[in-house]
């Protein structure tokens, strides 16, 4: 017996007021459906079916997970009808777990008891105790505490509405039984829908036990219907991820003001100041300090390196004991060795910067190989683009690039060479010498400032 997961995602999500389908709304940078798929994968599902609706082409185009079997539910006739669309493709001896595309935070370990219930011959349901369960289906138990049915809020009487155990909608059952039960569903209810929840009544009638397992927290079963709920779910996830980082040894100036949108790992004694956004795969080694308002995407930061405020990095590799920023930008394939200083308004792209080299002010370094111990003066530009192609600049060890140098690539500056401030260097500059390339200074006698026209 193995596991088939069916994710119901055909609902319209009108309350999002968005052109983007609900299940594609990003949560921590990943579509809602992506979170549910991650859960499905960590439960080692043998097959994953996503029930999608009209206009779902956008969803199919955006979610490229090759393991998904897409099932079209052309008309949204209810959750029972939705599941029924997927069942013909699932063998009778499979365990079926139903997840919702808009319930993103359920952890695999919370769902495991539902699967265990199926192994024991029962139906497993995930329920949750709520202070305000209005809107939810309620779990109705008999006088010995056994689940006998689920009643939807709209169909519930006053007494049933007092029940605080709500249905999360997530359930597991044996495929063969589900098929039989689904075929018996009727839509004679307040919403005129085929309710998946009605299988509970039928199962009980068939003498099958229904086990309602309570979720450990409300956050794990929150559904996202509008932007307010999206923000709530985001806040929960942010809190959990911040906690993970703190337990790994990071100090966060304010856990509510760090956004983790990917897989972030940290060494010991890392400090992260406020309003830091970490995206994709980010690793911060021991003793790294990240100043306020930094945005790091797919970046590795070496031990004891400090990023001052307002740095932006993307696919950069930064060595140990570097100083970066404030206001530095490291673009894809910026690779910095150790003890490198990159200062304010400096942009580095697709370049290697050697040990101890510095570019502290107002500089662009792109497509360059920079040696160690190099000093790049303020306002230097590697002129790497001729309008059609990109060209390389090489700067040897211990070179000193005068302020305002234009290094027109392809060009090479030898080891220990100096370039004069304001030089436009178009030919290779030899090692160990001063190279100047600028017009001779003149002073015009008798020149007058223009007067303002009246
Ligand atoms: C459902 C449950 C309710 C539970 C609540 C928890 C039923 C009848 N009721 O109610 O007991 O408390 O979830 O949030 O199941 N969907 C489809 N096709 C459809 C209808 C729905 O794919 O025809 C999908 C939706 O995209 C969504 C999920 O099923 O992901 C739930 O549908 P929704 O209409 O939100 O169910 P509720 O009425 O909230
Ligand atoms: Ca709902």
Question: What pLDDT, on the 0 to 100 scale, is given for residue 246?
Answer: 96
Question: What pLDDT, on the 0 to 100 scale, is given for residue 12?
Answer: 78
The three-class DSSP label of residue 139 is strand
pLDDT, one tens digit per residue, over 228-281 is 999 999 999 999 999 999 999 999 999 999 999 999 999 999 999 999 999 999
Pocket lining for ligand 1, CB < 6 angstroms:
8-11, 51, 73, 76-79, 81-82, 100-102, 136-137, 150, 152, 166-169, 195-197, 223
pLDDT, one tens digit per residue, over 360-403 is 999 999 999 999 999 999 999 999 999 999 999 999 999 999 99
Region 421-450 average pLDDT: 96
Question: What pLDDT, on the 0 to 100 scale, is given for residue 13?
Answer: 85
Binned at pLDDT 50, 70 and 90, residue 11 comes out as confident
Question: What pLDDT, on the 0 to 100 scale, is given for residue 393?
Answer: 98
What are the distances in angstroms from CA 169 to CA 86, 97, 100, 243?
17, 11, 8, 28
Are 393 and 386 in contact, with CB atoms under 8 Å apart? Answer: no
Residue 436 has pLDDT above 80, yes or no: yes
Q: Which sequence spans correspond to the domains of the chain?
A: 3-221, 242-435
Fold matches, 3-221 and 242-435: no
Question: What pLDDT, on the 0 to 100 scale, is given for residue 223?
Answer: 93
Distance CA 404, CA 142 (A): 83
For residue 78, give both structure tokens: 């209810």
Task: Give yes or no: 41 in active site.
Answer: no
Residue 55 has pLDDT above 80, yes or no: no
Atom of ligand 1 nearest to the CA of 198: 8
CATH class of 3-221: alpha beta
Element housing 169 (H / E) = strand 165-174
The three-class DSSP label of residue 62 is helix
Q: Any residues with CB less than 8 A from the CB of 296 and at least 6 apart, and which?
A: 276, 277, 278, 279, 282, 290, 307, 311, 312, 313
- CATH H-level, domain 242-435: superfamily: Hexapeptide repeat proteins (2.160.10.10)
Atom of ligand 1 nearest to the CA of 52: 22
pTM as predicted: 0.90
pLDDT, one tens digit per residue, over 326-357 is 999 999 999 999 999 999 999 999 999 999 99
């Amino acid at each position: 017996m193995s596991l088939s997961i069916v994710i119901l995602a055909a609902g319209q999500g009108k309350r999002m007021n968005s052109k983007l389908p609900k299940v594609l709304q990003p949560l921590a940078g990943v579509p809602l459906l992506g979170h549910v798929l991650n859960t499905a994968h960590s439960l080692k599902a043998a097959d994953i079916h996503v029930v999608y609706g009209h206009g779902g082409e956008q969803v199919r185009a955006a979610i490229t997970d090759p393991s998904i079997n897409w099932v079209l539910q052309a008309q949204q006739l209810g959750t029972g009808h939705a599941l029924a669309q997927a069942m013909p493709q699932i063998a009778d001896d499979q365990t079926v777990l139903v997840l919702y595309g808009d319930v993103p935070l359920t952890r695999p370990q919370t769902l495991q008891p539902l699967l265990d219930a199926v192994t024991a011959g029962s139906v497993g349901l995930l329920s949750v105790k709520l202070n305000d369960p209005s809107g939810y289906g309620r779990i109705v138990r008999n006088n010995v505490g056994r689940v006998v049915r689920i009643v939807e809020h709209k169909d519930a009487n006053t007494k049933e509405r007092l029940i605080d155990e709500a249905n999360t909608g997530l359930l597991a059952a044996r495929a063969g039984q589900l098929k039989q039960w689904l075929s018996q569903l009727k839509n004679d209810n307040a919403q005129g829908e085929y309710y998946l929840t009605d299988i509970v009544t039928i199962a009980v009638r068939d003498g099958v036990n229904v086990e309602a397992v309570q979720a450990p927290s409300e956050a794990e079963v929150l559904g996202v219907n509008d932007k307010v709920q999206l923000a709530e779910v985001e806040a929960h996830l942010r809190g959990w991820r911040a906690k993970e980082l703190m337990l790994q040894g990071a100090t966060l100036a304010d856990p509510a003001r760090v956004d983790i949108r990917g897989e972030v790992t940290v060494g010991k004694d890392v400090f992260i100041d406020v309003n830091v956004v970490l995206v994709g795969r980010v690793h911060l080694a021991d003793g790294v300090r990240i100043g306020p308002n930094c945005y790091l995407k797919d970046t590795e930061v070496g031990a004891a390196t400090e990023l001052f405020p307002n740095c932006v990095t993307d696919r950069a590799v930064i060595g140990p004991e570097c100083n970066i920023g404030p206001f530095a930008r490291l673009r894809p394939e910026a690779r910095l060795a150790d003890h490198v200083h990159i200062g304010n308004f400096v942009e580095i792209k697709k370049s290697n910067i050697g040990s101890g080299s510095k570019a502290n002010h107002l500089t662009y370094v792109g497509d360059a190989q920079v040696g160690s111990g190099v000093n790049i003066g303020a306002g230097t530009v590697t002129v790497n683009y001729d309008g059609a192609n990109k060209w390389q600049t090489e700067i040897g060890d211990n070179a000193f690039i005068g302020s305002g140098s234009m290094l027109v690539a392809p060009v090479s500056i030898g080891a220990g060479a100096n370039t004069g401030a304001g030089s436009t260097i178009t030919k290779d500059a030899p090692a160990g010498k001063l190279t100047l390339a600028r017009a001779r200074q003149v002073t015009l006698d008798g020149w007058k400032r223009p007067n303002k026209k009246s």
